[in-house]
Structure 1
């Protein structure tokens, strides 16, 4: 077994869930012969996170006193070691930790219905997985403000410290069957 820069020998007890709600049927597409959502659940478990159902009562999460990890089913190949490193970082800093990837698409402004200037991508990030809520943040919330990760992170950043962790390429978010094919090629065993 090769080591990873994200390895943590002593992970803290952590609860988490894989979000597939509001993502259509794509979480059930296959990658390497398995459903995306299944791969995401395996990564969460391999990261040492105890999976709970998204419908778990929020009060139960608060009572656990544990951090809470949200893993997007559309980021199915996020390495478990990266998820574990984000949990450890959140525990060390007390901040919400969010996996992000650089934006590679061209982004334009729109003004009165007309396409305008190109936005500098250097200042943009694409939210992927995971989103790690430290126990204090879980306790301060009444529930999740959104299951859309970009909206969730924006809402959390308005109230809590948020740190961004550069996710590896395998953590990229898919939005179509074509994206799944690209991710499959990227993560194919060699």
Structure 2
């Protein structure tokens, strides 16, 4: 696993790329509004603008495999991730034949815990918070029996155990929201 914040330009992807916006298991939050639009709508528009053909998340995995294309998962809780960032993640996944996962730096203090007792502070430089997208190159799509999870952190853990995974830092505007208060912060961050 590597973690990059600087990305070189990757070549155009030849052929189609499929993907889905993940909203399931996220409660009602994907339907909250940011800049007057639902989070899920914003995420869907970004996916389309990144030249990804949207398919229903419930599409049988065998159908996705038979297409022989890369597959992008974009989290509805990362609604304002720029389409250009998604596109560069797709290009990198295809060019390097690696799974690419968008992440944000961890800014909270993280403490070790043993037996209910708090211990030392963990160095945040070695940590990343999974955001969006998760891009699977065609070879990984073909190898997976099914999509292991739609929880992006759990999915990343499973993928890291089996495939090369590159963590790419996405801008703050692409961060994950977990509450209506977070949506208000995101809206303020991206106003103007």
TM-score where L is the length of structure 2: 0.93
Larger RCO (CA within 8 A; separation ≥ 6): 2
Comparing 11-20 with 127-136, greater Cα deviation is found at 11-20
Give yes or no for contact 1:6–1:85 (8 Å, CA) kept in 2.
no
Note if contact 1:89-1:97 (Cα within 8 Å) is conserved in structure 2. yes
Maintained 8 Å contact 1:17/1:69:
yes
- Corresponding residue SS for 1:158: helix
Where do residues 58-73 of structure 1 align in structure 2 (5 Å cutoff)?
A: 58-73=61-76
Give the number of equivalent residue pairs.
185
The answer for the alignment partner of 1:180 in structure 2 is 183
Q: Specify the alignment match of 1:85 in structure 2.
A: 88
Task: State the shift of 1:115 in Å.
Answer: 1.6
Moved segments of 4+, more than 4 Å: 5-9
Residue 162 of structure 2 aligns to a residue whose secondary structure is coil
Q: How does 1:41-190 map to 2 (within 5 A)?
A: 41-188=44-191, 190=192
Give the CA deviation at 1:7: 7.7
Unaligned runs of 5+ in 2: 1-6
Q: Is the 8 A contact 1:14 1:50 kept in 2?
A: yes
9, 12, 28: which one pairs with 1:10? 12
Structure 1 residue aligned with 2:33, among 30, 33, 39?
30
Secondary structure, aligned partner of 2:86: helix
Deviations 1:82-106 (A, max 9, x none): 0000000001100000111100011
Q: After TM superposition, give the deviation of residue 9 of structure 1 in Å.
A: 7.9
For residues 39 and 100 of structure 1, the distance between their equivalents in structure 2, rounded to whole angstroms, comes to 19
Q: TM-score, normalised by structure 1?
A: 0.94
